[in-house]
Structure 1
């Protein structure tokens, strides 16, 4: 007479209990315990996709059937699969992927693969233990050898991204950790937020290229929040503003000298701050001008990616003469790294702090000095091509750009000198304020 199903279950359960009593450990014991639960009908029920869909923010859900398979939900609701296991006597947690990009069935298949590897003694992927600060350091080393702006990027990452997040592992890392610092500064300083986003994107891209990211790591740069461009500013500093600026720069040391040179030449912040002595030819022979001081800004530092030639006025030369003697190849060297230039964003911040202390308009940024020059030249009869030549906004390209720039160098030199004379008159209070028109 055949046995009933219940009788078979009872006998199997008894045999399993005897096996457990022999004292097996780890994987063998957990497998026998699971089999005993099935034999007795006490096995936990399988979780469904609905359980995972309903998982609330900040919560976690462990699979009762698959030891170590866990879904975690961040405070913003981003869900990720993890596998918690023991490696070298320590509990480790590996990120498998994010949900729903990795489905329930895919996560279970991945768990099964890792489970087999663990039982067979194969080492699991431990790259999930790599910390955020480690991949930032890795990016910083690469950037220092390949990017001119690496110091600025490194400063942004260490100031805004890492504080409070240094020890977060890649297994624990959520998009929230990377997005929060961008969002935090976006409203106040959108330009810095854009640079920070670019730096974080660089960290992720470099880590992926160099194989530092664990399998299943699904955070990509496109998931970072977009930063809207700042609204173009039309405000231009007036005579009173320029007088306050020029007086303030007298007391600001090297930074003040850099700011004065920006005002005198109509160049951009980075173009001046990273200026090198070997870019200046003090006895250049130029047709129509004779012997002059010529500063050639290399293409890689120009926004238009073309070299820009500036004929230095007497006042601009006075600024350079005062900077001689440091022994550095840079005109405005960093106090910490004499062979390197100052950081452009630091110079900008120093001026912003000084501007605020003087009670000047918050729209008076370093960049508005270019607008002051261009506006004054226009109001003084300077044509569009002259204004474009002075501010490196030449619209021509290729061969035309070269000849246009060459042909306009002599008249541009005259306008640079006239603008320097204008600023000297403003600083010397020889310009009468009528209302508060533009400079």
Structure 2
């Protein structure tokens, strides 16, 4: 019986060899060669799902029966199917999908389709040629129309994600490419790492919504590494720090005056440096919703010292209170002020913890220590927790007492500058 089986296999192999000798091409020839391997007992073993399930991190597994079909496992264990081909004189590796989102059977079917597509002279799916930089550009275009923080997100992506990765295509993209920049900065600047993670998540989400990701693309925002929350900063400027700050800003021109206004009003950097004359009516400054973090208008009652800052700046044709800071030829006015203060801070011998944002903390802390209630502190710093109708009533009810606290704070800063406070 075994001899009979051997004879049959030999006869079949002989017939297949004769068929191959007729010169068939492409898929027919491949099929005959595969049949010959089986008939002669030389066929490689078919890989099973268990082989792929057991593939370790950082390893790869090539299908011995399907030229170019491979599974690659990242260092974090994310597995993706790839199809390695020669195209335009160079080797390309196209991502077919991720495992187990794309099953073994689906990957083999996709491989067969793409192989037949190439054999017929057709081009492969161009979506796999989309680069990381193109995804970031698409996200930035969307974010510029929908997010107030789009410039900060764009800057983080171009500073940390793109360098060395801009030309990586979706065919080559791995979760490690997206995770590495987050991991690289999270120990030093966890807050920036969280923002970068959020921005990269946005890139993936918008790319999927726009149909830029190929079928079976399995990288999702949930795969990005989590970043531990930074410890709350308890430091705030003391009397000596504020005195050094006021002295340092005296010779900083427009930027110094903008910083003084921030200190006097407790406003955020962008809210102040982009201040326009048409927002001011008497001593009432209404910051529009689009420039506020809470996305609703904020009314500031300017103290005598804050009005003095404005009065010294009147008489220009610019719509901006601080025109040099908002020169149309310069971009990101808030960044320019922030960088200028960082340089001046070092000259003044102030700690790096003295950021522009800590001026808000200085105001809120002094008000709390002086008996101001939580409602007043929230009103001064635009942290009002109420929403809807309640928010409008609270604004109206607290504006008068808030005006008194703004003036008291201005008087306190004047006393510090005049060295009347220890």
8 Å contact kept, 2:161–2:178: yes
Distance 1:334 1:34, change over 3 A: farther
The answer (yes or no) to whether the contact 1:239–1:426 under 8 Å persists in 2 is yes
Q: Which residue of 1 aligns with 2:78?
A: 78
For 1:146 and 1:396, how far apart are their aligned partners in 2? Answer: 24
**Aligned residue number for residue 298 of structure 2:** 308
Gaps of 5+ in 2: none
Farther off after superposition, 99-108 or 157-166: 99-108
- Evaluate the alpha carbon distance shift between residue 380 and residue 69 of structure 1 in structure 2; reply closer, same or farther with a 3 A threshold: same
2:378 counterpart residue number:
388
Q: Is the aligned partner of 1:401 residue 2:391?
A: yes
TM-score by length of 2: 0.87
Tell me the TM-score normalized by structure 1.
0.84
Q: Which residue of the partner structure matches residue 234 of structure 1?
A: 234
Question: Residues 170 and 367 from structure 1, CA distance in 2 versus in 1: closer, same or farther, beyond 3 angstroms?
Answer: same
CA contact (8 A) 1:132 1:169 kept: yes
Q: For residues 46 and 316 of structure 2, what CA distance do their matches in structure 1 show?
A: 73
Q: Does residue 360 of the first structure (1) align with residue 355 of the second (2)?
A: no
Matched, 1:7 2:11: no
Measure the CA separation in 1 of the matches of 2:406 and 2:241: 20
Map residues 323-402 of structure 1 onto 2, 5 A cutoff: 329-332=319-322, 338=328, 342=332, 344=334, 347-356=337-346, 358-402=348-392
Q: How does 1:294-305 map to 2 (within 5 A)?
A: 294-305=284-295
Q: Does 1:425 align with 2:415?
A: yes
- C-alpha distance after superposition, 1:163-215 (max 9, x if no partner): 01011111111111111112222222222222212211221112111111111
- Structure 1 unaligned spans of 5+: 282-291, 434-439
1:221 aligned onto 2:211: no
| Alignment match, 1:243 | 243
Using the alignment, how far apart are the partners of 2:115 and 2:297 within structure 1?
Answer: 60
Cα distance in 2 between the residues matched to 1:223 and 1:325:
55
Question: How far apart, in 1, do the equivalents of 2:325 and 2:292 lie?
Answer: 25
Q: In structure 1, what is the Cα distance between the partners aligned to 2:373 and 2:326?
A: 43
Report whether the alignment pairs 1:319 with 2:309: yes
Does structure 1 conserve the Cα–Cα contact (< 8 Å) formed by 2:153 and 2:199? yes
- Report the CA distance shift for 1:60/1:298 in structure 2 as closer, same or farther (over 3 A): same
* 8 Å Cα contact 2:59-2:74 kept in structure 1: yes
Which residue of structure 1 lines up, in the alignment, with residue 136 of structure 2? 136
How far, CA to CA, are the matches of 2:313 and 2:186 in structure 1?
36
Deviations 1:358-398 (A, max 9, x none): 44334323222122112223333444443332222335444
| Distance in 2 of aligned mates of 1:244 and 1:223 | 46
Rounded Cα–Cα distance in structure 1 between residues aligned with 2:314 and 2:34: 80
Deviation at 1:121, TM superposition (A): 5.5
